[in-house]
Chains A and B, each alone.
Chain A
């Protein structure tokens, strides 16, 4: 079946502009995660949605970052007034439930802020 998809695959934007990154999780997966990965580095947790519960936003690095998940499916990560340090690969993952379940990752969106 279809995996997790993300769009766009690449995004180049100017400093100060807003960007929206989209994630389509696997159908039926109740949990959705956003991570950030700097070049060749580890994963930084950003936000976690689980069903109808309030999202865990504890990993968002600043108030310029926000995310929503509409209808328990598609999610959008928005970065306002982008800065050069926001340049990274943004990864989305979904799973059947809480963190006892394996996560399925999308291919990521490579964001470059010039």
Chain B
């Protein structure tokens, strides 16, 4: 079955520094991979997705993610973090058996001024 894992519960970064949120996947066939963000007391928002094509995917709010097949990773990146990027980030992929998404456990990002 397809699954995703986020190895870090929390990431702390200073404002202006690069931000990376890690995600690894275990899938059969070609993966569909997503990143979502949840700001405090808000619902989840779609950031970006990888279906096929270019390994570097650009999304909302200046975020991008790199699909790496050899490392089975789909890390989320932002070159220069903002305090307003502090949120909970989820990686997700469809389950093999059906059409529902399986989510990683989430990574809390704290950007300090």
A, B co-complexed = yes
Q: List the interface of chain A (C-beta within 8 A of B).
A: 4, 31, 33, 40-43, 45, 48, 50, 56, 58-59, 91, 93, 98-100, 102-108
Which stretch (B21-29, B61-69, B100-108) binds chain A? B100-108
Contact (Cβ within 8 A) B46 A102? yes
Which residues of B from 40 to 55 have beta carbons under 8 Å from A?
A: 42-46, 49, 51
Q: Do A99 and B103 touch across chains, with their CB atoms under 8 A apart? A: no
Shortest distance in angstroms between A57's beta carbon and chain B's nearest beta carbon?
A: 11
**B51 with A108: CB separation less than 8 A:** no
* B residues whose Cβ falls under 8 Å from a Cβ of A: 32, 34, 36, 42-46, 49, 51, 88, 90, 94-95, 98-106, 108
A3 — nearest CB in chain B belongs to which residue?
B43
A106 to B43, CA, bound (A): 6
Contact indicator A56/B99 (Cβ below 8 Å) = yes
Known: A48-B99, A50-B99. A91 touches B106 (CB 8 A): no
Given A43-B90, A103-B46, does the pair A59, B106 have CB atoms closer than 8 Å? no
How many CB-defined contacts (below 8 Å) exist between A and B?
Answer: 61
Contact of B42 with A107 in the complex, beta carbons under 8 Å: yes
Report yes or no: B100 in contact with A45, Cβ–Cβ below 8 A: yes
Q: A42-B103, A42-B104, A91-B44 are in contact. Are A56 and B98 (CB under 8 A)?
A: yes
SS class, residues of chain A in contact with chain B: loop
Question: Is A59 touching B43 in the complex (CB atoms < 8 A)?
Answer: no
- On whether A33 and B100 interact (CB within 8 A), knowing A91-B44, A102-B46, A103-B46, the answer reads yes
A58 and B36 CA atoms in complex are apart in Å by 23
Given contacts A33-B100, A40-B88, A59-B100, 7 further A-B contacts (CB under 8 A): A42-B90, A42-B104, A42-B106, A45-B100, A45-B102, A48-B98, A107-B42
Given contacts A48-B100, A107-B42, contact A102 B105 (CB under 8 A): no
Contacts of A31 in B (CB 8 A): 99
A85 to chain B, nearest CB (A): 19
Q: How far is the CB of B110 from chain A (nearest CB, A)?
A: 13
